[in-house]
Amino acid sequence: MSLLHQESPEEVDGVARGDEFTKGSSHVVWASVIAFVLVTVAVAGYVIAGQKPPVATGEIVQVWAHPRHVETSGIDANGAPMAKQSYDQMLVFAHIRLKNESNVPLYLEDVLANARLRGSILSVSAGSAGQYEQVFIVYPELAPLHGNALSPRADIAPGQSLDGNILWATLLTKQEWDARKDLNFTFKFHYQSNLVLAPHSAVIEQ
């Protein structure tokens, strides 16, 4: 066999094809790495962009609960006798603070008091500022709880803060109320995300 071995055309062609295959594989690997990096950057950008600061912040300063057993007088508005009715009611008061952290006005649609009871979730809309004031006329013994009434449909200008009290009334017995698992409040804004706040201290039974 000659030391001056000459490669056949088939061998040369095979080597060339092998080189081309190696180079092609390298390009595919680099393309995959670049694509992975681009996708990772895109996903990270999407996540960061989605983490917008809240439009509002706040706190539940204190919550009071007052049970009522109500029995009607048995006389209607015209003075005619009617059957007496009785029911149990919980009055819930909360002192809240809210601040508009955005650069646009915020419009409250409602404030819900949410409690997880046995087998169900209770969500109650807040009473108006007028209803809040009326409660203290009907029940003068609650005067120590009286404070600045806040409307559950208040407007909050950019940078403005609200500080005051809101009322909720619901048909619950004291036993049902005491059996609740948790309590929080949902502030619903027009065209904005809801803000959910929980009290940091125990509910005071009044």
Render pLDDT for 111-136 as a digit per residue (tens, 0 to 9). 999 999 988 899 999 999 999 999 99
Give the mean model confidence (pLDDT) for residues 80-85.
Answer: 77
Render pLDDT for 148-182 as a digit per residue (tens, 0 to 9). 999 999 999 999 999 999 999 999 999 999 999 99
Tell me the one-letter amino acid at 182. Answer: D
Listed as own residue / partner, the contacts of 147-152 with beta carbons closer than 8 Å and 24 or more positions apart are 147/95, 150/96, 151/108, 152/108, 152/110, 152/111, 152/125, 152/126, 152/127, 152/128
Residue 67 has pLDDT above 70, yes or no: yes
Pair 197, 188: CB distance under 8 Å: no
Render pLDDT for 18-46 as a digit per residue (tens, 0 to 9). 555 455 556 565 556 565 555 554 444 44
pLDDT at 186: 98
d(CA 117, CA 181) in angstroms, rounded, equals: 6
Pair 62, 201: CB distance under 8 Å: yes
Q: Give the percent of the chain with pLDDT over 90.
A: 62
pLDDT at 69: 86
d(CA 196, CA 183) in angstroms, rounded, equals: 11
Name the token pair of 126: 């807040």
CATH number of 56-205: 2.60.40
pTM above 0.85, yes or no: no
- Confidence bin at 75 (pLDDT 50/70/90): confident
pLDDT at 4: 43
d(CA 124, CA 131) in angstroms, rounded, equals: 14
Classify strands 155-156 and 161-170 as parallel, antiparallel or unpaired.
unpaired
**Structural domain boundaries in the chain:** 1-51, 56-205
Lowest mean pLDDT among 48-57, 78-87, 96-105: 48-57
Name the token pair of 12: 């040369």
Residue 99 has pLDDT above 60, yes or no: yes
Tallying the residues shown for the chain, one arrives at: 206
